[in-house]
């Protein structure tokens, strides 16, 4: 029973922890494409800022993955 609860807790932590970054990455990419469509000359700064923001959003999902692994193997 305890193993099943650990599996459910890990699944919820990674599932809920990936929702926010997924939505954020989608919104970010969409807005970057809009900005590039309006001002193609600003490609460099837009792309640089987009990649940096994507890395930060992805880091949050990785934290959720680490919590899920800790729940499964340590708790």
Domain CATH number, residue 50? 1.20.20.10
The whole model's pTM is what?
Answer: 0.79
**Cα gap 61→25, rounded to integer Å:** 11
Structure tokens at 12: 């919820």
Mean pLDDT of the chain: 93
Task: Give the residue among 67, 61, 73 at the shortest CA–CA distance from 22.
Answer: 61
Q: Residue 46: give the domain boundaries.
A: 2-73
43 contacts: CB under 8 Å, gap ≥ 6: 36
Domains identified in the chain, total number: 1
The band of 75, judged by pLDDT with boundaries at 50, 70 and 90, is confident
Alpha-carbon dihedral angle through residues 50, 56, 60, 62, given to the nearest 10 degrees: 100
């Amino acid at each position: 029973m305890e193993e099943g609860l650990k599996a459910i807790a890990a699944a919820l932590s990674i599932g809920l922890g990936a929702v926010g970054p997924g939505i954020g990455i989608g919104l970010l990419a969409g807005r970057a494409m809009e900005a590039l469509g309006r001002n193609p000359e600003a490609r460099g700064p837009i792309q640089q800022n987009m990649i940096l923001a994507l890395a930060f959003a992805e880091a949050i999902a990785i934290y959720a993955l680490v919590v899920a692994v800790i729940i499964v193997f340590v708790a």
